[in-house]
């Protein structure tokens, strides 16, 4: 079960956890194709969490963390195939996530009010799990959370139901009172330090965030291109060089030692 890739390249997906949540998720995703079960059972990601900062910085940090998505996917792609398929993809894991259930798994909008936009997205997303006393948590029919609020089921949703629905949202960047970055493939052993340090450095100061926004503009929206071609995409590679240079310049803000910064810098430069 343990490996050094972000996806199992050889075996097909097989769900091992026999609990109502995952049975309901599998049921919902199977109606849309094979990517959902692959995402659930054959992929693993590295999650890095950052705070939102002060309210006045929220919009820029939200935009920057999304702008970085294609660049970081390409830099740290580590899943060249999944279940014997999609060989040659830089990140077959991200390809599977993208295709699982677009309304819940694709990137969120970058806008002036990300909180309101994400709230609207959440209530407009279909409910795939309705908890109850029985063995099955599969909803009786396809409905959005907004429709549930409007009385589509026998009982109204509670705040706990909303909290649980939020756990079934799987965008590459998920707000949870903090920023949960989900777009990185699981690295080889020990490989988590460089991407984590890079992200921390890039969000260490508002001036650095401004630099991120400028550096990633040319690669904005190229999520699937990054997953398919990685650093072979010229626009992404150009943005990545600027991002890595900016990150290395900012590593001193992270509290890491000189020796640690030296090692991380060499690893980051080796990705280019």
- DSSP of 29-90: HHTT-SHHHHHHHHB-EEEEEE---SGGGHHHHHHHHHHHHHHHHHHT--B--BTTBSTT-S
The confidence score (pLDDT) of residue 9 equals 85
The confidence score (pLDDT) of residue 3 equals 75
The confidence score (pLDDT) of residue 11 equals 85
100 token code pair = 């699982």
Residue in 70, 16, 77, 12 with CA at minimum distance from that of residue 46: 77
Domain boundaries, the chain: 20-270
Compute how many other C-beta atoms are within 10 angstroms of the C-beta atom of residue 149: 14
Compute how many other C-beta atoms are within 10 angstroms of the C-beta atom of residue 201: 23
Q: Which residues touch 110 (CB under 8 Å, ≥6 apart)?
A: 62, 63, 66, 67
The confidence score (pLDDT) of residue 10 equals 83
The confidence score (pLDDT) of residue 206 equals 97
The confidence score (pLDDT) of residue 1 equals 47
**CATH architecture assigned to 20-270:** 2-Layer Sandwich (3.30)
Residue-by-residue pLDDT tens, the chain, 272 positions: 457 899 988 888 888 889 999 999 999 999 999 999 999 999 999 999 999 999 999 999 999 999 999 999 999 999 998 987 778 899 999 999 999 999 999 999 999 999 999 999 999 999 999 999 999 999 999 999 999 999 999 999 999 999 999 999 999 999 999 999 999 999 999 999 999 999 999 999 999 999 999 999 999 999 999 999 999 999 999 999 999 999 999 999 999 999 999 999 999 999 99
């Amino acid at each position: 079960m343990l490996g050094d890739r972000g996806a199992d390249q050889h075996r097909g997906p097989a769900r091992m956890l026999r609990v109502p949540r995952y049975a309901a998720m599998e049921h919902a995703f199977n109606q849309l194709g094979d990517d959902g079960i692959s995402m659930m059972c054959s992929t693993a990601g590295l999650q890095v969490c950052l705070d939102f900062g002060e309210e006045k910085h929220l919009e820029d940090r939200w935009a920057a963390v999304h702008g970085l998505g294609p660049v970081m996917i390409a830099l740290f792609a580590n899943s060249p195939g999944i279940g014997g398929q999609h060989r040659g993809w830089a990140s077959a894991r991200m390809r599977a996530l993208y295709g699982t259930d677009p309304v819940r798994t694709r990137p969120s909008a970058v806008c002036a009010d990300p909180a309101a936009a994400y709230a609207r997205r959440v209530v407009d997303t279909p409910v795939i799990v309705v908890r109850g006393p029985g063995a099955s948590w599969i909803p009786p029919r396809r409905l959005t959370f907004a429709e549930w609020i409007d009385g589509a089921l026998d009982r109204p949703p509670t705040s706990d139901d909303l909290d649980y629905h939020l756990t079934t949202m799987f965008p590459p960047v998920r707000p949870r009172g903090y920023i949960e970055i989900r777009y990185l493939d699981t690295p080889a052993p020990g490989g988590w330090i460089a991407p984590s340090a890079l992200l921390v450095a890039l969000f260490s100061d508002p001036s650095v965030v401004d630099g991120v926004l400028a550096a990633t503009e040319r690669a904005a929206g190229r999520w699937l291109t990054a997953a398919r071609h990685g650093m072979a995409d010229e626009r992404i590679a150009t943005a990545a060089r600027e991002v890595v240079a900016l990150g290395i310049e900012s590593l001193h803000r992270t509290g890491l030692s000189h020796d640690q910064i030296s090692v991380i810098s060499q690893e980051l430069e080796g990705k280019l």
